Structure 1
Amino acid sequence: MEHFIVSARKYRPAIFKDVVGQQAITNTLENAIENNHLAQALLFTGPRGVGKTTCARILAKKINQDGTEKEGEDFAFNIFELDAASNNSVDDIRNLIDQVRIPPQVGKYKVYIIDEVHMLSSSAFNAFLKTLEEPPKHAIFILATTEKHKIIPTILSRCQIFDFRRIGVKDIKEHLADVAKSENIDAEDDALHIIAQKADGALRDALSIFDRVVSFAGKNLTREAVTENLNVLDYTWYFQITDLLLECNIPQVLVSYNEILSKGFDGHHFIMGLASHFRDLLVCKNQETIALLEVGEQVKTMYFEQSQKTSSQFLIDAIELANACDLKYKNSQNQRLLVELCLMQLASLNFQGEKKKSNSHERFIIPPSYFRSEEYTSKKITSAGSVVPNQIPKTEVAKQNAEILREPSEEISSKNNSESRDFSENKAASNDNSIEAPTEKVNERPQLLAERNAKKVSALSLKSIQKKQEIKQELVANQPTEDNLPVNDFSEDEMQVAWQEYANTVESDGKFNLLSHLTMGVPRLEGTIIHLEFPNQTIKVEVERAKYELLGFLREKLQNYEIDLDITVNEAVEKKYAYTPREKFEKLKEKNPLIDRLRQEFDLDI
């Protein structure tokens, strides 16, 4: 069996032009050699596997060439490589200094390549300072390191520093394609791209991965073989997950995530990749930034097609959610639940514009036609926003809303279950021609019944949230726009009487919490706007939940369909309680000033 040479050694560059991704440095070194401007101490710094040692060897060989050497001469006797990781003592540096004094036997320069120079001890660095600053004219030092910050400043100041950068994915892929062609290997472009991405800017790592994958897949290098061997999550999973998120298909998203975990992939790796996928989709939205997308041409087309299905706001929100999940992942006690919750939030971004932020202080005007109760019993408000008269039976709205309550995925409280059964009984009665009374009750206010049914839908189910929003859109967004509703004048006293009647109705229904809120303060009338002021946001939210029903009662009672509510929060209003005897006395004195006169007459103490 022939001896196998790894690609990193077999295809190591022999001249500066073959060095990949470091054109600026190689051009600088070539010009310095031609113009005789080469410094006597050079520092090559940068990540692993980017060509530091390779460039040092090429430089050491090139500076000794004068045109008279034999073909294939490598000047091995003039090049000394020292590993500072194992030769980091003062004695090792002293031996090096003794060798530097001896001139070369062949060639013009002796080149000393000290690899991993940051491993030298402080004493060794200090012993090396004088020789590094004023070496013999035949000696050149090339220091190589991956951690420049560990080298003392006195060494850095004596060297000409060359910073090697990470090699781009495109450059690595092109070099791998040349190597595959030389080895007669049929490699897909996507497969080489995945290897280049996995190498993270290090060409040596890319060649090592290439050898490993070729050993696994043979002469035909496919994307599937590379992803399987490297245990890399294929980008097709991210496209599939994104399509499901755009469809708001939460069950299938969770199933797909379970499949990914079952294949042995880490949840943290998945959520980071998903955030990067969203970033790439956002990059594709603009022609100016599409150059930032480091993928193959075929994959770039897939990114562009999917980016057209998404909005920029969705992608920005998605990146924010995925990044927040990434930050919380390591500290989470239930990491799978954290990722699943993030996926459910991502899938909810497109729920009927659910992510739109509304101003909580903005007063919502309810259209007067919403409270029509008689003329629209034979009409159905369609989802498209048009009114279709005499097309669907009068009880169809009630039937559809009753069907929502029977969804198996919804979680409905016991109270709502009882209300659902009552409503279903009324629906059944409406189908029976022999019973008329329940039918009239259902048809009397179909929209208000639909609103009550919308409130019965559980908020714990994502499906029910969507159903509830559909009903609300049917109730508010698609209202008729006729203007023949009464707008009779009324006084504030009449409004107070109607308000008290509604409070009595609430009390008879057993809604004591709402009753306490409605009777907390005195409503103030200004034109047709009734102003309410509460001490905190919680009470405001509770009253706003009953806003539709309250306005319906007041508008019908007062025969004015322009009435509306303005609910505000004044947190500065605080209820003061009396605790000490003096405070209690002052409280009583405010109610009845004669109490103070009584105290003075009888000379009483407090």
Structure 2
Amino acid sequence: MEHFIVSARKYRPQTFKEVVGQQAITNTLLNAIENNHLAQALLFTGPRGVGKTSCARILAKTINQDGNEHPDEDFAFNIFELDAASNNSVDDIRNLIDQVRIPPQVGKYKVYIIDEVHMLSQAAFNAFLKTLEEPPKHAIFILATTEKHKIIPTILSRCQIFDFKRITVTDAKNHLMQVAKQEGIIAEEDALQIIAQKADGAMRDALSIFDRVVSFSGKNLTRQAVTENLNVLDYETYFITTDLILQNNIPQLLIEFNEILAQGFDGHHFIAGLASHFRDLLVCKNQATINLLEVGEQTKAKYLEQSQKASSDFLIKGIDLANDCDLKYKTSRNQRLLVELCLMQLASVLLKPDGEKKNDQPFIISPSYFKEKGIKAFKISRETKEKAIHKSKEEKTVAVEQNREIHKESDITPPEKVQEEKQEIVEAPIISENTAIIEAPAVIEKKSVLIARERKTSGLSLSSIKKKKEHEEKKVDSIVDPKNLPMEDFTESQMQAAWVEYGKIQDKKGERIIGSMFAMNIPVLKDDKIHLELPNQSMKVDLENALPGFFQFLYKKLNNYSVELVITVNEEASKKYAFTPQDKYEKLREKNPLIDKLRSSFDLDI
């Protein structure tokens, strides 16, 4: 049995051209070697499996080549690799410094590659500072780390820093296709795409996953074999789920989710993948963002097809619901029910409360209303709609001007007439938000008249008080014959009861000040006249402003139109004596002499 070499080692880059996804860094290092601008200390930082150590070895080999050596020469005697995770003490750094002083026996440079340099102790870092800043001419240090923030600033300032980036899904997939071709393996593009996504930007992880899947499926690598081996949900699952959501098929949607759980998948992973699927569909809605979709050509065609079925509003709402479920998943006590509820909400986004599917052009009033009335809904063009609106505004303006003249002649409209006008206006057809409504001028005029008649003025202005008084006088004139006014006798209690009742009515209407004034000040009856005493002049003014309405109420209540009100102001009655703390204490002592003993016992102050 031959010794198996994993792909991560077998296909490790030997030249800068073979490094995947780090073209900017490899070009910089090549130019620095050619122009003799290479720094004495380099720091390679970035996530795992992106080529930091590989680039360090390639650099160490390249700077010692002069063209006369054997092609397979690796200059092993000039390259020293140190694992800082296990050699992180001061003594290890001192041994390194002692070795640096010795010049190389072969080649020009001795290269020291220190991997995981962030694991060095604080003392080791400090011992390394001087040598790192001013090493011998034949020594070059290459430091590699995944956690640059753990390295002290004095080390960072002495190094030339190269930040390695994550390898894109496309670059990883293309490299895997080359490896599969060299190994004689037939691999589907979607299968390699899933492996590249699962690697999360690390080429070493991608090659390790590739070896595992090949061991499972043999020389024929399919998408189904990859999804089964890696235990991931493929695109087809989310396509089926989204179709069921768009069809509002909640029962089948719950059955599909149950099958996913039965296969051993986690609900959290499923709902997070569904949010990503909605995101990819939203990306496909615009031609400018379609390049953000990192999938194969066949899968991209499926995404484009399904994105035409779903609206942007639905996808945005779907992402919001799925993301909310994702956030609540870990804290939920019934996680399955949480995901099922999210799926039911997603399937109900396109439904109205009554279960009918939403229309792209929602109606203000349901079409069924017009069918019952025998009215046929119709659509008109945008130009016709704009003309109708402009014409409607002109007719409304004319109607309002005419209404002003009518309103001057008659302020009172019989209730029966108002009801008829309201009924006619209600029966005017309202089609939808996207259709224009061409109303008859007569209906517009009636609507304007009704609005003008129902308009209210402020109750605090002088004009409103005058208008109200005139209106009450007209109302009395229309009901009672001014030549034969009733003047029945009434008692003081009847008058006071009417007084309090009117105050309560005003309080319910929101006139709090008038209501409290009537409640606090009760008049008396003397010489067939109502006498009221108020504490100040301002209250008298406020009460006089409210008298027109009060008299109309009192005339009807007492059936006497000869009632008179006499108001007097007695400011002395409103004055109250302000007691000092000493005065209050004296009053209390008169009532209870023992208060002196209480004060002396507890040494109290006044």
TM over 0.5: yes
CA distance in 2 between counterparts of 1:223 and 1:211 reads: 15
Post-superposition shift, 1:166?
0.6
Determine the C-alpha separation between the residues in 1 that align with 2:418 and 2:337: 52
Give how far 1:350 is off. 1.7
1:27 maps to 27
Say whether 1:122 aligns with 2:122. Answer: yes
**Equivalent runs, 1:42-191 vs 2, <5 Å:** 42-191=42-191
Could you tell me which residue of structure 2 aligns to residue 5 of structure 1? 5
State the partner residue of 1:475.
Answer: 369
- 1:177: Cα distance to partner? 0.9
In structure 2, the CA distance between the partners of 1:596 and 1:150, relative to structure 1 (3 Å rule), is farther
Q: Secondary structure at the match of 2:54?
A: helix
Q: Which residue of 2 is the match for residue 277 of structure 1?
A: 277
CA distance 1:338–1:123, shift in 2 (3 Å): same
SS of the aligned residue for 1:142 comes to strand
> Is residue 522 of structure 2 the alignment partner of residue 588 of structure 1?
no
**Number of residue pairs aligned between Structure 1 and Structure 2:** 427
Quote how far apart the aligned CAs of 1:91 are: 1.4
Q: Summarize the Cα distance change of 1:592–1:330 in structure 2 as closer, same or farther, 3 Å threshold.
A: farther
Letter in 2 for 1:95: N
Q: 2:591 maps to what in 1? A: none
What are the equivalent positions in structure 2 for 1:424-463 lying under 5 Å apart? 463=355
Deviation at 1:476, TM superposition (A): 4.7
Number of the residue aligned with 1:340: 340
Distance 1:237 1:497 in 2: 61
In 2 relative to 1, CA 118–65 (structure 1 residues): closer, same or farther, beyond 3 Å? same
Residue in 1 aligned with 2:426?
none
Give the secondary structure class of the aligned counterpart of 1:106.
Answer: coil
Cα distance between partner residues in 2 of 1:82 and 1:145 = 12
Q: Distance in 2 between matches of 1:497 and 1:470?
A: 24
Tell whether the 8 Å contact from 1:7 to 1:208 is kept in structure 2 after alignment.
yes
Report the Cα distance in structure 2 between the residues aligned to 1:262 and 1:85, rounded to whole angstroms: 43
| Partner AA of 1:193 in structure 2 | Q
Note the alpha carbon deviations across 1:177-233, whole angstroms, 9 max, x for none.
Answer: 111111111111110000000000100000000011111111111100100110101
SS in 2 for 1:27: helix
Q: CA deviation at 1:496?
A: 9.6
In structure 1, distance between residues paired with 2:164 and 2:189: 27
Deviation of 1:248 after TM superposition, in Å, equals 1.5
Matches within 5 A, 1:237-386: 237-351=237-351, 354=352
> Aligned-pair distance for 1:471?
11
CA contact (8 A) 2:521 2:534 kept: no
**Counterparts in 2 of 1:599 and 1:528: CA distance versus 1, 3 Å:** closer
* Distance in 2 of aligned mates of 1:255 and 1:133: 66
Counterpart Cα distance in 2 of 1:23 and 1:33: 15
Change (3 A) 1:242 1:575: farther
Q: How many angstroms apart in 2 are the aligned matches of 1:574 and 1:118? A: 78
SS in 2 for 1:56: helix
Matched residues in 1 for 2:322 and 2:418: separation? 52
Pair 95,246 (structure 1): closer, same or farther in 2 beyond 3 Å: same
State the partner residue of 2:230: 230
Would the aligned equivalents of 1:325 and 1:339 in 2 still touch at CA under 8 Å?
A: yes
Residue pair 1:321, 1:346 contacting (<8 A) in 2 also:
yes
| Match of residue 503 from structure 2 | none
**What is the TM-score with the length of structure 1 in the denominator?**
0.64
Compared with structure 1, are the counterparts of its residues 586 and 12 closer, same or farther at alpha carbon in structure 2 (3 Å cutoff)?
same
Counterpart of 1:567? none
CA offset digits 1:238-258 (Å, max 9, x no partner):
111111111122222222122
2:124 is paired with a residue whose SS is: helix
Judge conservation of contact 2:418–2:450 (CA < 8 Å) in 1. Answer: no
Inter-partner Cα distance in structure 2 for 1:464 and 1:317: 19
Shift of 1:472: 4.1
| Structure-2 residue corresponding to 1:207 | 207
In structure 2, the CA distance between the partners of 1:589 and 1:43, relative to structure 1 (3 Å rule), is same
Contact 2:188/2:222, CA 8 A, preserved across alignment: yes
Deviation at 1:338, TM superposition (A): 2.3
Aligned to 1:546: none
Please give the per-residue CA displacement for 1:138-159, whole angstroms capped at 9, x wherever unaligned.
0000000111111111111111
Cα contact 1:589–1:596 (8 A) shared by 2: no
For residues 264 and 586 of structure 1, do their structure 2 counterparts lie closer, same or farther at Cα, with a shift above 3 Å needed? farther
1:37 paired residue number: 37
Name the SS of the counterpart of 2:3 in structure 1.
coil
- CA positional deviation for 1:491: 4.0
One-letter identity of the residue aligned with 1:294: E
Distance 1:44 1:592, change over 3 A: farther
CA distance in 1: counterparts of 2:33 and 2:282, whole angstroms: 46
Report the Cα distance in structure 2 between the residues aligned to 1:45 and 1:574, rounded to whole angstroms.
Answer: 76
SS, match of residue 61 in structure 1: helix
TM-score of the superposed pair, with normalisation by structure 2: 0.64
Q: Helix, strand or coil: the match of 1:317?
A: helix
- How far apart in 2 are the matches of 1:593 and 1:328? 71
Could you tell me whether the CA contact under 8 Å between 2:85 and 2:119 is conserved in 1? Answer: yes
Report if the CA contact (8 A) 1:90-1:124 is conserved.
yes
Relative distance call for 1:84 and 1:283 in structure 2 (3 A) is same
Whether contact under 8 Å (1:113, 1:144) holds in the other structure is yes
State how far apart, in whole Å, the 1-side matches of 2:286 and 2:176 are. Answer: 30
The alpha-carbon deviation at position 327 of structure 1 amounts to: 2.3
Whole-angstrom distance in 2 between the partners of 1:253 and 1:495: 58
In structure 1, runs of 5+ residues without a counterpart are 355-458, 483-488, 499-524, 534-572
Deviation at 1:323, TM superposition (A): 2.0
Q: CA deviation at 1:26?
A: 0.8
Contact 2:521 2:532 in 1 (8 A): no
For 1:593 and 1:126, locate their aligned partners in 2 and report how far apart those are by CA, in whole Å. 102
Q: Per the alignment, do residues 278 and 588 of structure 1 end up closer, same or farther by CA in structure 2, a change over 3 Å counting?
A: same
Query: Which residue identity does 1:475 align to in structure 2?
Result: Y
Helix, strand or coil for the counterpart of 1:161? strand
Cα deviation digits, residues 358-380 of structure 1 (max 9, x gap): xxxxxxxxxxxxxxxxxxxxxxx
Q: 1:60 to 1:465 in 2, by over 3 A?
A: closer
Give the distance between the partners of 2:521 and 2:15, measured in 1 at CA.
100
In structure 2, the residue matched to 1:503 is none
Across the aligned residues of Structure 1 and Structure 2, the Cα RMSD in angstroms comes to 3.8
- Given the superposition, is the C-alpha separation of residues 119 and 160 from structure 1 closer, same or farther in structure 2, using an over 3 Å criterion? same
Seen in structure 2, the aligned counterparts of structure 1 residues 76 and 481 have a Cα distance that, compared at 3 Å, is same
- Alpha-carbon distance, 1:598 to partner: 10
The aligned counterpart of 2:565 is none
- 3-state secondary structure, aligned to 2:69: coil
Which amino acid counterpart does residue 480 of structure 1 have in structure 2? Answer: G
CA contact (8 A) 2:523 2:533 kept: no
| Distance in 1 of aligned mates of 2:249 and 2:365 | 20
**2-side partners of 1:220 and 1:591: how far apart?**
103
Amino acid at match of 1:200: D
What is the percentage of aligned positions where both structures have the same residue?
Answer: 72
Deviation of 1:234 (Å): 1.2
Residues 111-139 of structure 1 show CA distances to partners (whole Å, capped at 9, x for unaligned) of 01011111111111111111111000000
Distance in 1 (alpha carbons) for counterparts of 2:62 and 2:358: 72
Deviation at 1:592, TM superposition (A): 7.3
Residues 491, 574 of structure 1: alpha-carbon distance in 2 compared, 3 angstrom cutoff: closer
Checking the alignment, whether the CA contact within 8 Å between 1:172 and 1:196 is kept in structure 2 is yes
Is the CA contact (8 Å cut-off) linking 2:169 and 2:196 kept in structure 1?
yes
Residues 293 and 124 of structure 1: CA distance in aligned 2, closer, same or farther (over 3 Å): same
Match of 1:143, SS state, is strand
Give yes or no for contact 2:523–2:532 (8 Å, CA) kept in 1.
Answer: no
Q: CA deviation at 1:334?
A: 2.6
